Structure 1
């Protein structure tokens, strides 16, 4: 069993997520614009000619081995240049707590930064506001609630750690879920921070392809493993850009 020392605490792998709420909003974006956000060593998956899919992930971790915290992820679908399964690559990952930020950077190479995230819930909506450097990045409201169950699924998350690509197997599933096609109930406002301009460069805000809500999500994150035969510069994964 692998363990890591993070800020004088021990993190034992795999990291377990016992209770969280999660929203996953998928957008159709320009392929060339998406490629500008991807690091060397990875190819952005083309969803249709000249297009790619881009994800905004909103997660409220209530019971997690890394603590209780909130995070907002901006995510591409990629595959390694040298071959391998399709997976996700997180271009930015603001969180609101220091420990998970340091652990994410140190263990997996996730581009976590500590930022201001506000969450406002009603029985039917979840509103997230992200502020960086005192400027608004985004203000997004998504539909909340559902009665479906999503079985635990195994997926691959790619990062650049110590200058080379790594793959992390993670799982996610849960109850109180709903999948909707289209963007009914989704409202996205971009601010004037450079990260907002980055999102605008993808064509956001636009009508989402789909939106998924999971009220009670569970999952896990394994130890990252080097992607064989690949090396990449850490462009696109540096924190604080």
Structure 2
């Protein structure tokens, strides 16, 4: 396995690992989607979607406002799928099928050049530059992704009830695939001010290849399994390593 360097020069600045995010706010929604079409979407990665229930995969849409972190302030939108660890066979039972799952980041537009270069260079995240207007001030949290004034996707999240914070920071493996190389990045999250509910998301798909993929998964008419908002999120990203799939 090849591990990323400890420090990187990004646009004349030195970025040292681990990268820390000290304050971010998030809106997200998770959807059950057909496993076969979802697997087709991420086939280029060599990874396999996790199936909490036979025939069903999980697709997550999330928008993040980064207020304070090592990569500066920016907006980000993510399309991700829950995946099995590379080479792992599915285990029996719901708990077995979800053991060791990670998040494969399929699409990750951002609105700032510095984080674009850092994300692609350090972790192989599929970042691309877009206009990402976001409104987190109202009760309904809203975000859109636009390219040249054309809307790719719009998401609105209705917050739910307060959820107690866990005593330990959850750790997740984030997977990415860029230029034919699949990588794994250990990722730790420390959320507070979390609100969760069933349903509560409205998705409008526009004109973009990823929007067409999501439309093929039924996200333009599906009800979210859960939606969440996070008022304050801290994160730590370790270095990435290449994985064999």
TM-score (norm 1): 0.87
Q: How does 1:7-86 map to 2 (within 5 A)?
A: 7-38=11-42, 39-83=44-88, 85-86=100-101
**8 Å Cα contact 1:20-1:60 kept in structure 2:** yes
- Give the match for residue 154 of structure 1: 171
Q: Which runs of 5 or more residues in structure 2 are unaligned?
A: 90-99
- Give the match for residue 193 of structure 2: 176
- Give the match for residue 155 of structure 2: 140
- Distance apart, 1:23 and its partner CA: 1.6
Compare 195-204 and 145-154 and name the one that shifted more.
145-154
Answer yes or no: is 1:101 the counterpart of 2:105: no
Q: Distance in 1 between matches of 2:157 and 2:57?
A: 22
Q: Distance in 2 between matches of 1:86 and 1:194?
A: 26
What SS is found at the alignment partner of 2:105? strand
Q: Distance in 1 between matches of 2:57 and 2:162?
A: 30
User: Which structure has more strand as a fraction of its residues?
Assistant: 1
Distance 1:14 1:96, change over 3 A: same
User: Which structure has more helix as a fraction of its residues?
Assistant: 2
How many equivalent residue pairs? 227
Q: Distance in 2 between matches of 1:198 and 1:128?
A: 19
TM-score (norm 2): 0.86
**8 Å Cα contact 2:45-2:177 kept in structure 1:** no
- Give the match for residue 229 of structure 2: 213
Q: Distance in 2 between matches of 1:200 and 1:163?
A: 25
